[in-house]
Structure 1
């Protein structure tokens, strides 16, 4: 049986999603019985001319990155956005609220900092994306489920309900009862409410569910003293408006 050829690629980001894949350890090694990994900078060198599946992490922040992404898209039958940075541009998109010239000087210094695009962009602003794996970082079990579906020739299915459902199933106390602003009611599930189980709140790293009941949710936020600007600020970390628009 011919194994599917898969590759892992990274752009601007922390590479935590690829480390999540590696941290699967024995389960990752078992993958090698089903697929052939032909590109993965974290663990090997070299490149290939054709891919069945490309898992791509990171947002696109330079013209050079955009060109490299187009080249990956051209040689991959299927392209999967791996993690929040690839899916929505992630925390990198906060650069949208800063002057880019100032940002370049602050981060890189010197007289000739590298060129950046107008704002960090998700993959689907540059090329068509076939599937997405949300999260910061991704959930390892969800990665395995997505890969299994692709191996079977089936479209991967993401949860359509919110983190609130997982929180209640785990019998965790509501963050709002601790006077914490939580994005769980409108954020896509799939993380087993990990942050809430650790005593934190949901910050929306998995993106919004398809049809959030935003009206009632905004009223709850207002009841907790948040202004319209406060609400926008809460969403900006992972859900900056206007991240798409392929170029």
Structure 2
């Protein structure tokens, strides 16, 4: 009986590659700032997006070249503003803001099934990294950077994490932006669940953690100095 109920309420993850967007633009912008904004339900179907603890407003950008922070945008390969890397049709770029000088992260959330044979989660990252939690549990991530780009906002990393402990369960995935000096965007694309075993988090991941801690300490000192 319990298994039957569990199956009845099981959910399939949607739009993990961000390619299911319907670009229904309801607010247009000048070309140098991007195409415009559309409903989050059209541009990010299947996902819930939060800034801090608050749901993001109903509008999400399309091919934005942001003139301020605290915005989210999907991108295609024809973006004339920010040259976001794209695998497939669209990728997602998040630009966390600093209201009252405090870093306010974005969180991207969805609930769905992890198959019984799944061992790892894999995705593409550009710009600053992400923290990933599954049902509230922090997942160590391994970042493998691709050679060729020195731009911290557009360099690509193949990211892998071990989710084998959650195989066969319905779970919540929560991606949260992490601050890194020198980059203003946290980019995400092509999320997938794989039967391949995840590698151990490499030195690159530890290096990223060090950078993020440096960024946090730098921001803390700036805020402390501003209050003096």
Which TM class, normalised by the smaller chain length? under 0.3
Instruction: Give the TM-score, by structure 2 length.
Output: 0.26
Taking structure 1 as the reference length, the TM-score comes to 0.25
Identify the structure with the greater strand proportion. Answer: 2
Based on CA coordinates, which of the two structures has the bigger radius of gyration?
1
Structure number with higher helix proportion? 1
